[in-house]
Amino acid sequence: MAFKGLEPISYGGREVWPLIEGGKGVSATNSESSGAWAAAGGIGTVSAVNADSYDAEGKIVPQIYDALTRKERHEQLIAYAIDGATEQVKRAHDISGGKGAININVLWEMGGAQQVLEGTLANTKGLVTGVTCGAGMPYKLAEIAAHHGVHYLPIISSARAFRALWKRSYHKVADLMAAVVYEDPWLAGGHNGLSNAEDPLKPEDPYPRVAALRDTMRKEGVAEGVPIVMAGGVWFLREWDDWIDNPELGKIAFQFGTRPLLTEESPIPQGWKDALRDIEPGDVLLHKFSPTGFYSSAVKNDFLFDLIRRSERQIAYSKAEDGARCVQLDAGVRGKNFWVSEEDRAKAREWVAAGYTEGLKTPEETIVFVTPESRDMIRKDQADCMGCLSHCAFSSWKDHDNYTTGRLADPRSFCIQKTLQDIAHGGPVEENLMFAGHAAYRFREDPFYSNNFTPSVKQLVDRILTGD
Burial class (CB in 10 A: 0-12, 13-18, 19+), 212: middle
Q: Which residue has the higher pLDDT, 5 or 339?
A: 339
pLDDT in tens, 271-289: 999 999 999 999 999 999 9
Q: Kindly state whether residues 285 and 305 are assigned to the same domain.
A: no
**pLDDT at residue 156 is higher than 80:** yes
In a domain, 426, yes or no: no
In a domain, 49, yes or no: yes
**pLDDT at residue 138 is higher than 90:** no
3-state secondary structure of 239: helix
Q: Kindly state whether residues 270 and 313 are assigned to the same domain.
A: no
| pLDDT-derived band at 44, boundaries 50, 70, 90 | very high
CATH of the domain at 262: 3.20.20.70
Q: So what's the pLDDT on residue 197?
A: 85
Q: So what's the pLDDT on residue 374?
A: 97
For residue 80, give its domain range.
3-292+436-465
Q: Kindly state whether residues 219 and 332 are assigned to the same domain.
A: no
Q: So what's the pLDDT on residue 239?
A: 96
Question: Is-contact 108 138, C-beta < 8 A?
Answer: yes
pLDDT in tens, 224-243: 999 999 999 999 999 999 99
Q: Kindly state whether residues 319 and 361 are assigned to the same domain.
A: yes
Q: Which amino acid is at 312?
A: E
Q: So what's the pLDDT on residue 1?
A: 59
- Distances 424 to 270, 337, 385, 419, 468 between C-alpha atoms, Å: 10, 43, 19, 8, 28
Q: So what's the pLDDT on residue 151?
A: 97
In a domain, 284, yes or no: yes
Q: Kindly state whether residues 440 and 323 are assigned to the same domain.
A: no
**pLDDT at residue 13 is higher than 70:** yes
| pLDDT-derived band at 404, boundaries 50, 70, 90 | very high
What average pLDDT does this structure show over 205-222?
A: 97
| pLDDT-derived band at 2, boundaries 50, 70, 90 | confident
Percentage with pLDDT > 90 across the chain: 87
Would you give the distance in Å from CA 68 to the centre of its chain?
A: 28
3-state secondary structure of 54: strand
Q: Kindly state whether residues 134 and 171 are assigned to the same domain.
A: yes
Q: What is the mean pLDDT of the chain?
A: 94
